[in-house]
Amino acid sequence: MKALILIDLQNDFMPGGALAVPGGDAVVAVANRLARRFEHVIATQDWHPADHLSFASQHPGKSPGDVVDLDGLPQTLWPDHCVQETAGAELRRGLDVGRIDTVIRKGGDRLLDSYSAFFDNAHRRATGLHEHLRGAAIDEVYLTGLATDYCVKFSALDAVGLGLRVRVIREGCRGIGLESGARAWAEMAAAGVDVISQDAL
């Protein structure tokens, strides 16, 4: 069985948001079109406490883009974003939430970031997404969302590692940087992810 996973289509990742992905709002219309083709549609939300240690504001003298050690892992620091119960963390207005049957929240542990929809960055805790997929007998996932070079990429790589068939829809993703986005597409393809056009559906 198949499922569509919408990665982090939240206000803070859209133009005007705290951590805007260039062109991120264009993904919403693609997601809405795709959602009509799937029986199972899952959305993820970055869901950080206000004092999350991936925020540059929690490290005096540091700025967004700096890299620090966070609980034994290198961590890029970000502007405060997707703070729990704030407007920035809400799913983007215009997204057809009526098609979404499950929402998976990630990034709630202040000590660890969670780019992947499946695990935190240290793979210490699962989000519950894989268990949900197994319970619904879903073994093939289609990914779209933000950002290509972070949460989409790491979600796709973890899904392959869990034995799922993974397809990422190119038009339904946007990256933070052109160079890092290109590397992400190459890395996903090398790991066995099928990168497809929405027309292939």
**Res 176: pLDDT:** 92
Instruction: Indicate the pairing of strand 102-106 with strand 140-146.
Output: unpaired
CATH code of residue 148: 3.40.50.850
DSSP one-letter code for 29:
H
Domain holding 142, by residue range, is 2-49+79-200
Residue 104 located in a structural domain:
yes
Q: What is the pLDDT, as a whole number, of residue 180?
A: 78
Number of domains observed in the structure of the chain: 1
Residue that is written with structure tokens 């799913």 in the block = 91
Residue 72 lies in a domain: no
- The chain-wide mean pLDDT, for the chain, equals 96
pLDDT tens digits in sequence order for the chain, 201 residues long: 999 999 999 999 999 999 999 999 999 999 999 999 999 999 999 999 999 999 999 999 999 999 999 989 999 999 999 999 999 999 999 999 999 999 999 999 999 999 999 999 999 999 999 999 999 999 999 999 999 999 999 999 999 999 999 999 999 999 998 777 899 999 999 999 999 999 888
- Does some domain include residue 164? yes
Residues annotated catalytic, as ranges: 8, 106, 151
pTM value > 0.85 = yes
Of 63, 106, 61, 57, nearest to 80 by C-alpha is 57
Task: Let me know if residue 69 belongs to a domain.
Answer: no
Tell me if 57 is assigned to some domain: no
Assigned domain for 65 exists: no
User: Would you say residue 188 lies in a domain?
Assistant: yes
Does 173 fall in a domain? yes
Q: From CA 69, how far away is CA 66, in angstroms rounded?
A: 10
Look at the block and give the residue holding tokens 């933070």: 176
